[in-house]
Amino acid sequence: MESSSPDNFPRWAPSPSPSRVLLSPVEDTKIKSNAARDSAENGLSLSCSSMERIFPFSIGFKSTATTSTAYASAVEKLLEAECAYVKSSGTTDIEIASRKKGISLTWEDLWVGVADRKREQRMILQKLTGFAQPGEVLAIMGPSGCGKSTLLDALAGRLSSSTQHRGKILINGRKETLAYGLRNLVTRYCSFWYSDNSHAYVTQDDTLMTTLTVREVVYYSAQLQLPNAMSKAEKKERAETTIREMSLQDSMNTRIGGWSKKGLSGGQKRRVSICVEILTRPKLLFLDEPTSGLDSAASYHVMNRIIKLAHRDGTTVIASIHQPSGEVFELFQNLCLLSSGRTVYFGPASQAEQFFASNGFPCPTLRNPSDHYLRTINKDFDVKGGALEKGSQANFITQCLVLTRRSFVNMYRDLGYYWLRLAIYISLCLCAGTIFHHIGSNFGSIQVINMLKISVTYLSSKPH
């Protein structure tokens, strides 16, 4: 009986990924010299940061081009080669033609920084170089907070005004800024604001009207975005095709839903947001975490559809993605791996494994490669704290003091919570004060005071 117990079955467990800290000094020196050689070959210089000492930074493509025109022509050549390759692999002439009409995006020596409270500049992105081509999907991966969304924002021209950036961003070899520019703020809060349909951006947060159904959201959006030359019937047809492309046909009449009434699931909302953006068949599509909230099967289907659309329409897709399953990862043609705002790897996704292996971090058998890469480059948890001793909890008085202090800091920093209220109360006091000015002492004055009392009670009562 004992032998049939599930506990006695031998279980397979993946061998651990080689750890960065386990590297011997000899290996470490070898890696550093490889990195230096790679950087020299790539025409990039590495600045001396703590990150460099523990992991080599490199890009998977070799380019000696140093000027933007040289970069653009290098990308053109890559595109030609890509077209020749896809032609030989059975891609139709129509698909190749749409790729040729597409948008190539290149960025060179891109830096993004933000001034901290002491007015010192903190770099979010450093020295990034890369490209994205029509008909292909570039996945931007990396640990949380490494700068994936910032890179997307920088490429899409959506960086907030608190950031500074420099470097070259070329569209089809020309220095152009995508038409987001001034409407940054508007796009952040209103997903239905567009100036042209050549590019679209799906943000991390779904900004959908909660009372509308899926069909209504997509159809209204089609009416707003699609050209007047298209008839109402064509717009409706496009809306419904797009909904079907994202497998939302069963939820067409379901309301989006919000805090008061549950409607779609988080993953379904994500798919509706994607529908709204791909309606116009943009030439350049930015997706910030398109699969967050989706299970692995849904993630696969959504990414697969996006990749098919990219192939069919020659769309250039740049997607930041957190933790793709092995199947999803295999769908990506190109990979940009970031860590602490710097490129660890840029190149074909299929060659990342070789890159990591040649640098001393081979992916263990049967491990999802993307898990391995993220685990290897994540340095957020490198410093581990010691075990907590018993009785190490703060006492009651400390807790009260800390909670009070935390609450004050929160109130002081929250513009709406503290400063806005203060301003409202001061203006209210001034308004109320003027009423008492020369009010007199007759019966009419008493009525004014009563009215004032009722107004103040009404204004200061908290709505439930």
Ligand X SMILES: Nc1ncnc2c1ncn2[C@@H]1O[C@H](COP(=O)(O)OP(=O)(O)OP(=O)(O)O)[C@@H](O)[C@H]1O
Which residues make up the interface to ligand X (CB under 6 A)?
114, 124, 142, 144-150, 160, 162-163, 322
Type and span of the H or E element at 342: strand 342-348
Which residues fall within 8 angstroms of residue 34, CB to CB, at 6 or more apart?
Answer: 56, 358, 359
> In degrees rounded to 5, what are phi and psi of residue 132?
-135, 140
Name which of 180 and 194 has its Cβ closer to ligand X. 180
SS (H, E, C) 315-339: CEEEEECCCCCHHHHHHCCEEEEEE
Q: How far is the CB of 137 from ligand X (least distance, A)?
A: 18
Q: Please, which residue, 204 or 211, has the CB nearer to ligand X?
A: 204
**CB closer to ligand X out of 14 and 145:** 145
What does the alpha-carbon distance between residue 187 and residue 194 come to, in Å, rounded to a whole number? 8
* Cβ 68 vs Cβ 168: under 8 Å: yes
Asked if 126 and 341 touch (Cβ cutoff 8 Å), the reply is yes
Residue 123 dihedral angles phi and psi, to the nearest 5°: -85, 130
Q: Which of 203/225 has CB closer to ligand X?
A: 203
Task: Give the nearest distance from C-beta 184 to ligand X in angstroms.
Answer: 11
Whole-number minimum distance, CB 361 to ligand X, in Å? Answer: 21
Give whichever of 102 and 130 is closer to ligand X, judged by the CB atom.
130
> Rounded to the nearest whole angstrom, what is the least distance from the CB of residue 96 to ligand X in the complex?
33
What phi and psi, each to the nearest 5 degrees, are found at residue 97? -60, -45
In whole angstroms, the minimum distance from the beta carbon of 367 to ligand X comes to 21
Q: In the complex, what is the shortest distance from the CB of residue 337 to ligand X, in angstroms, rounded to a whole number?
A: 12
CA 93 to chain centre: 33
Closest separation in Å from C-beta 152 to ligand X: 8
| Other beta carbons less than 10 A from residue 392's beta carbon | 7
Q: Which is nearer to ligand X, 102 or 147 (CB)?
A: 147
In angstroms, give the least distance from the CB of 225 to ligand X: 26
Under 8 Å CB-to-CB from 116, ≥6 apart: which residues? 122
β-strands 316-320, 284-288: how paired?
A: parallel
Q: Kindly report the CA angle at 292 between 108 and 141, in degrees rounded to 5?
A: 30
Total Cβ atoms within 10 A of residue 435: 14
Closer Cβ to ligand X, 104 or 150, answer by number: 150
With respect to ligand X, which residue has the nearer C-beta, 150 or 187? Answer: 150
